[in-house]
Structure 1
Amino acid sequence: MTKKPKILFIGPTPPPYSGPELSMQQFLESESLNSEFDIQFLKTNFRKDNTKKGKLDLSMLSNFFIFFSKLLKLLISKNPNCVYYPITPTQIGWLGRDVWTILLSKLFGAKVIIHLRGSHFKLNFKEFNSIVKRVVGFSLKKVDCGIVQAAYLKDQFAPYIPLNKMAVLYQAMDIEEFSPNSEIPIEKGKILVMGHMTKAKGYTDILKIIPDICSDFPFAKFYFAGNIRKGERGVFYNQFTGEKIAYEDPFEVENTILNSEFKDNYINLGIISGNNKMEHLQSSDIFLTASYSEGFSRSLLEAMAIGKPAVFTPVGAHREVFENTVHGYSFVPGELDGLKNALKTMLQDEVTRIKIGLTNRSHVVSRFSIDTISEDFKAIILKVLA
């Protein structure tokens, strides 16, 4: 009997229940991948709160040594044929773990596949210290395959990783778990937003247009699921335009709404998960994401899988897998008039909302099921091993 190739997966798993963590869990549980490979796993995240991601403190330093001792042990004892590792887009992330994970894995003879779950490494890299650029560039040259979440993002690691060593892997969705439920009624005018409540996620932009939207559509209510976070720890550029994002304090902008006549049109749900999250997704009328940068928004795909119409920014994979007016209405991140027009168009036409929702469900089932994406991932790994 032929032995299965040994693959070491390195990355985060829930909690927190964000895109990278949930995607890693999907791969680890994939029947297709487990039948083909002998999978070992090394967990990278030690924080259960998204607000503390990327924060340099004593716990991060201690976990640096714990992580690399575990990695060294696995490389020696398991001798993996390949290491799969989602990288970070930040300078501190590369210096703190990414560079050394790549080089140590190569030192022990493993093929290395890195995965960028975002769309802003290239822009961030321009701001790296010159010495750090050299170190990062050196490690990238050792990589056997770079995975991105959209075809037009294949140049994210240029010139260090050539295009023939780049691959595209879209977001995967559990189409059974995220499916329409007719028993939960839709709340007319319920606009759901999920994710970090920061400037880079478009949170402050959405708050600014609430008065205009709700003056014309008093029944509209904006529900925000996530945590408000000061500062930015990874996204500093408008990925669509390339311009630097002008930071705004989300707490200050929120206070403006809370002290206005439209305070009842704003609902802060905090972090939601499980049945609570599913109920809000099912009962929403429109799903909204106003992010300045994404690889492929998991929450957007979840809403579309459930059959929700969407208003979204054409960043990351969105611009090549979703079509304006077919899967929803798109607008350039940061352009408030575009955001307002997209929402107003959607709010005034229930028939169109229903039609787009049905289209979205069909689109996700046909292109982004776990089975489909796992097969694509398996093909990428096998090509690297070959």
Structure 2
Amino acid sequence: MTPEELARAALTRVLEPGDEHGGRWLREYGAVGLMGLLTAPEAEPGVPGGVGQERLAGYRKRAALADPRRDLELAAESGGRFVCPGSAEWPTQLDDLGDARPVGLWLRGRPSLRTWALRSVAVVGARACTPYGAHMAQTLAAGLAELGWVVVSGAAYGIDGAAHRGALASGGATAAVLACGADVAYPRGHAGLLGRIAGQGLVLGELPPGSHPTPSRFVLRNRVIAALTRGTVVVEAAHRSGSLVTARRARELGRITMGVPGPATSGLSAGVHELLRGEAALVTDAAEVVELVGSIGELAPERRGPVVARDLLDRETARVLEALPAGRPADVEQVALASGTGTDEVIGRLYELHSLGFVERQGDGWQLTRQTPGGGTQTGAPRRGGR
């Protein structure tokens, strides 16, 4: 490990996630230089600058206690590693966060984060979700995984957990971004799930081994999810929801924001509906998500109702069929007048319709058959769906 990487590992003990003062210092002094300033026995007052003396004293105290080699050993014991800007595995899209980008990331799992992040989608939402929301998140994640996309979420209860389970169940790829150390099982009820994710995918976080979450760290964790992925899908979120923070941060970073609609009466979908009224695209399945975040040509299938036999008729034949009255026969002249077509043309079209089972001959007249081709009962002149 290079001195720069070792210094960055130490700084994850010193700087809180998203600390823009620390990010500016890193840009100005480099990691080795910054650690040198913070651990110097006779540091120049106010250097590095931009914060008060009391806060700077706190940074210095943390820097004096940091032991990056020990942290790296602890990470290795749980199958972990450390990556940072300049590493081969660093996902450069995180650089879009500017001075708020992570100092580095602690990972558990075998896959390359850089490779996985290139084709990843965030699926986030409410912790206290409904059965509908859990079903949609799990189905959506399974579909994305089957299409070769990595599902990224925060391993929380509710929508996050459902999304991870959907991807795992389909044998696909999923990554959990934590607001604590990558070796810490939080929430505790998801210890088994996090173990499965680490075994099949990736668990990652900005904080060093053994670190525990705080409310502010959850909020700041969301910026990593937003920046790391190609787009963010929100499945159920109330008006005040961390998931909306993730989606809006994704939009600010130029990523695609999407929402899955819910019942208009559901408070848990109110935040999603607010997004859909403004900056987010409506999606209902994985194919629609991929159409938005994927490459040119990755299109969702066309949506339409079932094709019935009359949809296959050409325009002139369908006009003759529509001119036949319901419940009684009509002669050729009456059909020609109603359809605005010549009698010879009508006769030819009627025989074509007869061969297809749409009409039958009644003496000198023609009438609709009681059973339409395909099995339905014809109670009036058929409507031509899809035309």
Structure 2 length-normalised TM: 0.29
Q: TM-score, normalised by structure 1?
A: 0.29
Structure of higher RCO (CA pairs closer than 8 Å, 6+ residues apart): 1
Larger Cα-atom Rg: 2
